[in-house]
Amino acid sequence: MESVLSKYENQITIFADYLEEFPDTDELVWILGKQHLLKTEKSKLLSDISARLWFTYRRKFSPIGGTGPSSDAGWGCMLRCGQMMLAQALICRHLGRDWNWEKQKEQPKEYQRILQCFLDRKDCCYSIHQMAQMGVGEGKSIGEWFGPNTVAQVLKKLALFDEWNSLAVYVSMDNTVVIEDIKKMCRTLSLSADTPAERPLESLTASTQSKGPSACCTAWKPLLLIVPLRLGINQINPVYVDAFKECFKMPQSLGALGGKPNNAYYFIGFLGDPGLIPGLGTSPGEGNGSPFQYSCLENPTEPGDELIFLDPHTTQTFVDTEENGTVDDQTFHCLQPPQRMNILNLDPSVALGFFCKEEKDFDSWCSLVQKEILKENLRMFELVQKHPSHWPPFVPPAKPEVTTTGAEFIDSTEQLEEFDLEEDFEILSI
């Protein structure tokens, strides 16, 4: 009993330090599409941040591939960030953005099932094992660091095996999001009991049509949209800062993957309003120096200049399911002070994430992009209605014969490698 109380008291101390990290100002903090007033809603802000699933380096899991590494410390940070972005999409899909986590409180069964998808076991669909092995098909050896685009491609491939979550994963190509392709991929047919439950829209046959409108209806496959970008050459171009921050304000936001080479973070929001950034872009050398400037450093960043992120660079011991089938989740939520960094110190290679559970969410996202992103003279990315004529035809990625449900997954490396060899990378990159 005494040890439990001691642990609880330590958590209270951590919470107090956490809240003191933020400056006492009237500014807004945006976290994945939700705003918090810093001066009066710090507790609510803390709760929102700590509710995000936090994946870090782990040690003492089964060797990857049977003979590979048993820890991802030093190389797996971008994979962990990709896991965090995907986990947020699954939370939104099954529990909703407003769902909140409380320590030692019983959670919905969907929450436990989501968590089990990411355990460090080869039979979990988004484990470090599956991501590292699928990365081989993207030219990455097991134990090699991933970039934002590589982890996006890996998640897209792995999602094909995940029937429970049933996500459509679209990774943009050439800084361009194509509305027509996304709707082709996400619009499916929910058919009657004597036909398969879900098919692409274009697969509707004459025989199905003859059954009349009662035989089927159009459905929307929940969309995970990832937009890999390069926002400069050696450092982020200040002209993109406003548009980059606007993405965190969108209700569909899943944050961003980025950081610097070999040092990845999962960015979930920012402090302050874009309009409050003083002298933005007036100094070409702005942002040089230390790659990461925190508020506690000698030269703190101005309010409004700071991104908030979850840091995977903590090595924890592998956690498995318990005898009752649940997972002890206390190490999967970050209760430490939130990290912040100057946005101009961000490496220009990033990947934005968005989740659209229904078609109306995607339509709303398109409208927001038109209003907030495409208004800039130098656009962060493009949104077009039709598939570009000079691109290869868009073919929605199809699931191989091997199937999975929930947290179960294929455990054959040979099947993964065969899948990688058979795919046309150019088509999948669209």
Would you name the residues annotated as active-site residues?
A: 77, 311, 313
Nearest to 157 by CA among 182, 139, 131: 131
Query: Packing angle between helix 128-135 and helix 77-94, nearest 10 degrees?
Result: 120
Run of H or E including 260: strand 253-260
Alpha carbons 258 and 265: distance in angstroms, whole number:
6
The owner of tokens 């190490």 is 331
Alpha carbons 250 and 254: distance in angstroms, whole number:
9
Q: Which two tokens stand for residue 222?
A: 């929940």
With the CA atoms of 202, 164, 86 and 247 taken in that order, what torsion angle do they form, in degrees rounded to the nearest 10? Answer: 50
Contacts of residue 253, defined as CB under 8 A and 6 or more positions apart, other chains included, come to 32, 33, 247, 353, 354
Secondary structure of 207-221 in HEC code, one letter for each residue: HHHCCCHHHEEEEEC
